[in-house]
């Protein structure tokens, strides 16, 4: 029988937080909470830690057969070579299935341009990584072949003031209808209290969570309430 339930994406973006011990403790806590979440089969949990924790988390996830997949927060716009400090797509792919590209923090703090972001997307796609491409509104260019877009209005990121579910839904619907994006997420100050207001909207396929994912108990609440 065909299921009419949509898959809800729950993406945890740790940004530049945590140490190895904290990363492992986070996963251990989440692992304990997951079996109690009855709607787990309808959810796709993607955790995006800083690069150094990808191998540790991957081993733990595999060893405990956890229903969690990994994503990176960035990728080099170049293939391997003399690019000091860069982590290339092939290296990311050893540990992760997803990569966040175009986050407003990278556009703002690291001056990432549309041109550079296009190169990153190309590299990621070239090795089979799925790109979660972030846009701040309807006007931002989306590179070809991107299937997951996160609508993340700057005023809502890290401010404690999310967009309204109605407005977020209207933008997500636009991205699906006009830009033919398959999966559209909302991001910006999502918490366990309001996550369902967003995920219950038919055009919103999930959420990208920053601050509220850092505490594992609070991310578990988001997973169960979504
Ligand atoms: P926030 O971050 O949940 O802390 O607002 C969201 C994001 O930057 O993706």
pLDDT digits (tens, 9 = 90+) for 45-72: 999 999 999 999 999 999 999 999 999 9
E runs forming strands in 97-205: 98-101, 130-135, 148-151, 183-187
Q: Which of these ranges, 33-37, 91-95, 111-115, has the smallest mean pLDDT?
A: 33-37
152 is catalytic: yes
State residue 18's pLDDT score. Answer: 98
- Report CA(2)–ligand 1 centroid distance (Å): 34
Query: If you average pLDDT over every residue of the chain, what do you get?
Result: 96
Once rounded to an integer, what is the mean pLDDT over residues 186-193? 98
Burial 79-102 (b: 16+ CB within 10 A, else e): eeeeeeeeebbbbbbebbebbbbb
Q: Which residue's CA is the nearest one to ligand 1's atom 7?
A: 210
Is 99 a residue whose pLDDT tops 80?
yes
Once rounded to an integer, what is the mean pLDDT over residues 82-91? 98
Report the pocket of ligand 1 as residue ranges, CB < 6 Å: 13, 152, 157-158, 187-190, 208-212
State residue 137's pLDDT score. Answer: 85
Q: Which residues contact 78 (CB under 8 A, 6 or more apart)?
A: 86, 88, 119, 123
Q: Which residue's CA is the nearest one to ligand 1's atom 6?
A: 210
Is 2 a residue whose pLDDT tops 80?
no
- Report CA(9)–ligand 1 centroid distance (Å): 15
Nearest atom within ligand 1 for CA of residue 162: 5
Is 42 a residue whose pLDDT tops 80?
yes
| Burial group, residue 63, by CB count within 10 angstroms (0-12, 13-18, 19+) | exposed
Q: What percent of the chain has pLDDT over 90?
A: 94
Band (pLDDT 50/70/90 cuts) for residue 5 is: confident
Is 4 a residue whose pLDDT tops 70?
no
State residue 114's pLDDT score. Answer: 95
Is 140 a residue whose pLDDT tops 60?
yes
Which residues, listed in sequence order, are joined to residue 185 by a DSSP beta bridge? 150
Q: What percent of the chain has pLDDT over 70?
A: 98
Band (pLDDT 50/70/90 cuts) for residue 139 is: confident
State residue 3's pLDDT score. Answer: 52
Q: Which of 133, 209, 221 to mutate to test the pocket of ligand 1 (most atoms within 8 A of CB)?
A: 209
pTM over 0.85: yes
State residue 138's pLDDT score. Answer: 75
Band (pLDDT 50/70/90 cuts) for residue 210 is: very high
């Amino acid at each position: 029988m065909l299921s009419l339930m949509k898959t809800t994406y729950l993406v945890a973006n740790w940004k530049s937080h945590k140490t190895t011990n904290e990363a492992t403790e986070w996963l251990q806590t989440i692992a304990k909470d997951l079996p109690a979440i009855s709607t787990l089969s309808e959810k796709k949990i993607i955790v995006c830690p800083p690069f150094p924790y990808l191998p540790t988390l991957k081993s733990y996830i595999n060893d405990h057969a956890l229903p969690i997949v990994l994503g990176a927060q960035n990728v080099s716009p170049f293939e391997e070579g003399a690019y000091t400090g860069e982590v290339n797509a092939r290296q990311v792919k050893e540990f992760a299935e997803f990569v966040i590209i175009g986050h407003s923090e990278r556009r703002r703090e690291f001056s990432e341009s549309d041109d550079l972001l296009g190169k990153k997307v190309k590299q990621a796609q070239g090795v089979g990584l799925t790109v979660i491409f972030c846009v701040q509104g309807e006007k931002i260019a989306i590179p070809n072949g991107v299937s997951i877009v996160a609508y993340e209005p700057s005023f809502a990121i890290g401010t404690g003031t999310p967009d309204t579910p109605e407005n977020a839904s209207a933008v997500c619907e636009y991205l699906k209808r006009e830009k033919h994006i398959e999966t559209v997420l909302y991001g910006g100050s999502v918490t366990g209290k309001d996550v369902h207001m967003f995920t219950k909207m038919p055009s919103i396929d999930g959420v990208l969570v920053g601050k509220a994912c850092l505490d594992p108990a609070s991310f578990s609440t988001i997973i169960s309430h979504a």
